[in-house]
Amino acid sequence: MRKISAVINPAARAVMLIVCLSAVAVAQQPQAQPVSAPAETPATRRVAELIKIINTPDAAATKSYVRENYGGEFGKLPLSAHLNFIAYMRDQSRGIEFRGIRKSSATDATALIRTNLTGAWHTLAVHVEADAPYRITDIDVDTADAPDAERAPAKKLTDAERARELEAYVQKLAEADVFSGAVLLAKDGKILFERAYGEASKDFRIANRVDTKFNLGSMNKMFTAVAIAQLAERSKLSFEDSLSKFLPEFPNKEAAQKIKIKHLLTHTSGLGSYFNRKFMESSRARFRTVNEMMTLAEGETLAFEPGTKWAYSNTGMLVLGAVIEKVTGQSYFDYVRENIYKPAGMTNTDAYELDLVTPNLAVGYQKEFNEDGTTRFRNNVFQHVIRGGPAGGGYSTVGDLLKFDTALRANKLVGAEYVKQLLSAKPELNSPRYGYGFGVDTKNRIVGHSGGFSGISSNLDMFLDSGYTAIVMSNYGGGSPPVSRKMQELILAGQ
């Protein structure tokens, strides 16, 4: 579940909670749980109050409630962050309907709620102090399945029906101005639905197109992993190789000997994220090459022994970019362009330098909610990287991502044995939902990756058994998850 405290980024001006945004691409489908009559506890009372606040657009009342009823470390977070979260929930849902309590105690309560805008189901969990006045000390929001009584009988949809339902759903989001971007649904490489919504540039009122280039966020990790798999297939390296073979002093000699290529690919290396204070306080123009980006990771230490835990690591993927350069003698960007983009036919994909002219590039926007109840959009030009790299930040189109999926599944980028390696979870490395650079939903056999940041929200889902491809690219922060989840529901319906 996502906590509001987990997404407060000082450099991004305390951006609001991105509801249901997963760290990796593919989320497991949540399991339905029983709903009970509300138990009268301090926690359930706070749930009821919070729902009322979310549903009531009264800026003064909201501000007063947060100040008086939020406590602990949670209450010390910026007031603007809490107000943004509540306003964001109101904006995205257009009001939420309380549908029961799933579980409760004196200090915790989890409610089942349904949004008015799309009828989507979520859980709203609230934690309160153990003693009076029982102030709120944490809030979580997650996706949820509808209770059994609310579910329509399972019906297998035709592809035409899937496309119609998807179009109606996304149109509703776009008309409410909570989605901007492009959506593509395909089966066996054949496009069933493709459409763009919103604006690529609000300053110049330029509409998004299906061939508009959107920021990938962390989705570049898939390309980095495929590049490593290619080098393994060509016997240039092995997944079992220690990092010390290529970078003997990073992050230090002892750690380099412990970390293996497979740990870097699965986020089990113990390394963290180079998007640190140094990055936040530096000019983005300083970091255009892999070597320049690596300077941000100097001095990192292992948070745990490699292979013993899973922790999402941007530094780990960046290090793989440095390995690619060491092995090939090419820049990471040239290698990926020649060995992945070109053979896949991806003519609109690259890690473009944003201070150079690149036609048809979408600007990323984050909706902000002012304390007086008004809204505005802030672009992410000065928040994100000036050039993406091995860990993320490049650009692509929905059409190019379909080409990538098609080429990968057809074994055109790497042989079948290595495709299987990439797309298989690695529980033996404590990575049960992540393979080599790809998120893995083992239950529904969906693989892919997501990317998210302020003004960036993209996702690729590859349905391995049925041949479907679901792609969403949005230049609104948090724009893709609702659409991606709807596409999963439509594809899995009746299966």
| Per-residue model confidence (pLDDT) at position 32 | 46
What topology is assigned to 2-150 in CATH?
Nuclear Transport Factor 2; Chain: A, (3.10.450)
| Per-residue model confidence (pLDDT) at position 11 | 33
| pLDDT for residue 18 is more than 90 | no
- Higher-pLDDT residue of 20, 219: 219
Furthest-apart CA pair in the chain: how many Å? 66
| Per-residue model confidence (pLDDT) at position 36 | 52
Q: Tell me what the mean pLDDT of segment 279-300 comes to.
A: 82
* Span 19-73, pLDDT tens digits: 332 333 333 344 445 455 556 899 999 999 999 999 999 999 999 999 999 999 9
- Higher-pLDDT residue of 175, 279: 175
pLDDT confidence bin for 443, thresholds 50/70/90: very high
Question: For the chain, give me the number of helices (H) and strands (E)?
Answer: 16, 17
- CA–CA gap between residue 409 and residue 462 (Å, rounded): 9
Share of the chain above pLDDT 90, in %: 81
| Per-residue model confidence (pLDDT) at position 213 | 98
Q: Tell me what the mean pLDDT of segment 143-170 comes to.
A: 89
* Span 343-372, pLDDT tens digits: 999 999 999 999 999 999 999 999 998 888
Residue ranges, comma separated, of all CATH 3.40.710.10 domains in the chain are 215-492
* Span 460-482, pLDDT tens digits: 999 999 999 999 999 999 999 99
- CA–CA gap between residue 315 and residue 90 (Å, rounded): 35
Residue ranges, comma separated, of all CATH 3.10.450.50 domains in the chain are 2-150
pLDDT confidence bin for 107, thresholds 50/70/90: very high
Average predicted confidence (pLDDT) for the chain: 90
Closest to 159 measured CA to CA, from 185, 189, 183:
185
Q: Given 3.40.50.2000, 3.40.50.720, 3.40.710.10, 2.60.40.10, which CATH number is that of 215-492? A: 3.40.710.10
| Per-residue model confidence (pLDDT) at position 28 | 39
Quick check: helix, strand or coil at residue 91?
helix
Q: Tell me what the mean pLDDT of segment 254-282 comes to.
A: 90
Residue 199 φ then ψ, to 5°: -125, 140
Peptide linkage before 133 cis (omega within 30 of 0): yes
